[in-house]
Amino acid sequence: MLIALYLLLAQGLLGAFDTLWYHEYKQQLPRNASAKIELRLHASRDFAYAVVFGSLAWMLWLGSWAWLFLAILVFEIGITLWDFIEEDISRRLPAGERVMHTIMAIIYGAFLAKLLPEVFQWTSQNTELLFVDRGVLSWILTVFAIGVFLSGIRDVVASFRMRTT
């Protein structure tokens, strides 16, 4: 589980860089009306990531809860795939951003490869949300959860302020 969490930490760092450098600075997506759908997809994914970061920081999803957690992961994957398509429709991605997205997809795959066997073990246990304290890692993942949640709010608000083109 610890390796999965470190991969999630790497994913969070790369995601923050991708958002700040490419989405905010280079492409200025919140000010680009053609990015309206992309921003809503980003917001949806951000909210899923907030749950993943925040919950894995402090708990295990045991029993029936594990199936809900798996559904959140599947939702995130679906949103990401849709986002890949939407990006190609709405804008030209800089080469570096395309590479960043590929690296993030690889890390997310490694994260899932390490996490899913554990989550499937959780499904056979009594249903409960079990508190865990991972020390500093719990707090770092909590900060990431707050950051990605705020990013999601920013994206959804920006998308609703845009005029339809």
DSSP secondary structure, 69-128, as one string: HHHHHHHHHHHHHHHHHHHHHH-PPPHHHHHHHHHHHHHHHHHHHHHHHHHHHHTTSPSE
* 128-159 pLDDT, tens digit each: 999 999 999 999 999 999 999 999 999 999 99
pLDDT recorded at residue 128 = 98
The structure's pTM equals 0.92
Mean pLDDT of 19-46: 89
User: Residue 37: which region, alpha, beta or left (left: phi > 0; alpha: psi -120 to 50)?
Assistant: alpha
- State the Cα–Cα distance between residues 12 and 148, nearest whole angstrom: 9
Mean pLDDT of 71-81: 97
